[in-house]
Chain A
Amino acid sequence: MYRYDEFDHQLVNERVAQFRGQVARRLSGELTEDEFKPLRLMNGVYLQLHAYMLRVAIPYGTLSSKQLRMLAHIGRKYDRGYGHFTTRQNLQYNWPALKDMPDVLHDLATVEMHAIQTSGNCIRNVTSDQYAGAAKDEIEDPRIVSEIIRQWSTFHPEFSFLPRKFKIAVSGTPDDRAAIRVHDIGIQIVRDGKGEIGYEIYVGGGLGRTPMIGKKIADFVPKEDLLAYLEAIMRVYNMYGRRDNIYKARIKILVHEIGAEEMKRQVDAEFAEIRKTGALHLPAEEVARIQAYFAPPAYETLPDESTELNKAVVADRDFANWVKSNVAAHKVPGYAIVNISLKPIGGTPGDCSSEQMDAVADIAEKYSFDELRVTHEQNLTLADVRKKDLPAVHAALKAAGLATANINLITDQIACPGLDYCALANARSIPLAQQISERFADLDRQHDIGELKINTSGCINACGHHHVGHIGILGVDKKGVEYYQVTLGGAADEKTAIGDIVGPAFTEEQIVDAIETIVTTYLGLRQPGERFIDTYRRIGIDPFKESLYATH
Chain B
Amino acid sequence: MAQHSRKGAQIQALTANRLADGIVVYLTADNRWSESLQDADVIEGKEAGEALLARAQPAIDGNIVVEPYLFEVVREDGNIRAASVRETIRQAGPTVRLDLGKQAELPGVHR
Q: Residues of A with Cβ closer than 8 Å to B?
A: 26-29, 33, 47-52, 80, 95, 97-99, 348, 419-421, 424-428, 430-431, 434, 459, 477, 479-482
Contacts and interface: CB of A to CB of B under 8 A. Distances in A.
B49 interface: no
B19 A431 contact: no
A99 B21 CA distance: 7
Contacts of A348: 96-97
A434 to B, nearest CB: 7
A80 B100 contact: yes
B22 A50 contact: yes
A477 B93 contact: no
A481 B84 CA distance: 8
Interface residues of B, number: 29
A50 B63 contact: no
B17 interface: yes
B103 to A, nearest CB: 11
Contacts of A481: 85
A425 B19 CA distance: 22
Contact of B94 (A421, A426, A479): A421
B109 interface: no
Interface centre among A28, A50, A428 (most CB of B within 10 A): A50
- Top 5 A-B residue pairs of the complex, sorted by shortest distance between their CB atoms: A97-B21, A420-B94, A51-B22, A52-B22, A29-B63
6 contacts: A27-B20, A47-B66, A50-B22, A50-B24, A51-B17, A480-B85
A427 B17 CA distance: 21
B2 A419 contact: yes
Contact of B89 (A51, A99, A420, A479): A420
Nearest to B86: A419
Contacts of B6: 480
A82 to B, nearest CB: 9
B51 interface: no
A98 B21 contact: yes
A160 B110 CA distance: 44
B19 A26 contact: yes
Contacts of A28: 63
Interface string B2-25: 110010000000000101111110
Contacts of B63: 26-29
A420 B20 CA distance: 22
A29 B64 CA distance: 9
Nearest to B66: A33
B89 A49 contact: yes
A188 to B, nearest CB: 37
Contact of A480 (B2, B19, B101): B2
Interface string B78-111: 0000011110011001111100110000000000
B20 to A, nearest CB: 5
B67 interface: yes
A99 B23 CA distance: 12
